[in-house]
A and B are shown apart, each in its own frame.
Chain A
Amino acid sequence: MSGAYSTGLFSHFSYFVTVFLMIAGLFIVIARGNLVKKLVGLSIFQTSVYLLYIAPGKVVGGTAPIVSDAFSVYSNPLPHVLILTAIVVGVATLALGLALAVRIREAYGSIEENEILELDAADGAQDAA
């Protein structure tokens, strides 16, 4: 039943998708200067991690892990539990990150990384002088 999926390159397809999404999220975080966009990249990274955990738990021919008399094969419920927690924690950190971005915007007038660094350096030079 699962033999056809476990051999060859296709068996690791879900991992390739996961790595692609992870790298896309990582790229957005390190290559873009806008704080809000960085947070979007971070949440893309987080969703790719959910995929990383849940894909190996799937059993082909199984069903959702809700026990009932009509089914006998279930997909693995353990990653679901971990990822449920991860999703909620992710949105909690996102909310905090956005609140920080809003405060930074009010304090510096911009949410672009290089502008903020310039303003900081200018402030530092002023304080030193």
Chain B
Amino acid sequence: MRSDLILRVVAKLLIPFILLFALYVQFHGDFGPGGGFQAGVIAAAAVIFYALIFGLADARRMVPEPLVESMMALGVLTYGSVGLAGLLLGGNYLDYFVLAHDTVHGQERGIFWVEVGVAITVSGVMLKIFYMFADRGKVDDE
């Protein structure tokens, strides 16, 4: 009981920081190490941590299954639509320089949205896989 309490308190303290770190890694991927993949994995790790400490049902309430499933697809769609936007605005597929008033800003915008798409897909997939593995065990136990 006591060790359970320590874990819960520590988890409650750490998880917001882990999520914040994931966001930091995502948006500072341009200036330091980081980027979409790392951020997605860290965010998924935060939710998995929550599920390990507080139980799968609680985690499912916080991050419900339909949300995770749609996140998986949404990221890839975001990436693809950035490419399409390049196509529609006059360049080739996945051209960034047409996306804004000047080349460098277009590149920055394109890179930003692409990394966001990647992070959403990666975190969604990692979380979904964890949910699937954990779910299988629960039904097997009965």
A interface with B by C-beta (< 8 Å): 64, 66, 84, 87-88, 92, 95, 98-99, 102, 106
Contacts and interface: CB of A to CB of B under 8 A. Distances in A.
B32 A102 contact: no
Given A88-B122, A102-B136, A64 B129 contact: no
18 contacts: A64-B33, A66-B31, A66-B32, A66-B33, A84-B35, A84-B37, A87-B37, A88-B37, A88-B122, A92-B125, A95-B129, A98-B133, A99-B129, A99-B132, A99-B133, A102-B133, A102-B136, A106-B140
Interface residues of B, number: 12
Interface of B: 31-33, 35, 37, 122, 125, 129, 132-133, 136, 140
A87 B32 CA distance: 19
Contacts of A66: 31-33
**What 10 A-B pairs come out closest when comparing CB atoms?**
A95-B129, A88-B37, A66-B32, A102-B136, A84-B37, A88-B122, A64-B33, A66-B31, A99-B132, A66-B33
A17 to B, nearest CB: 23
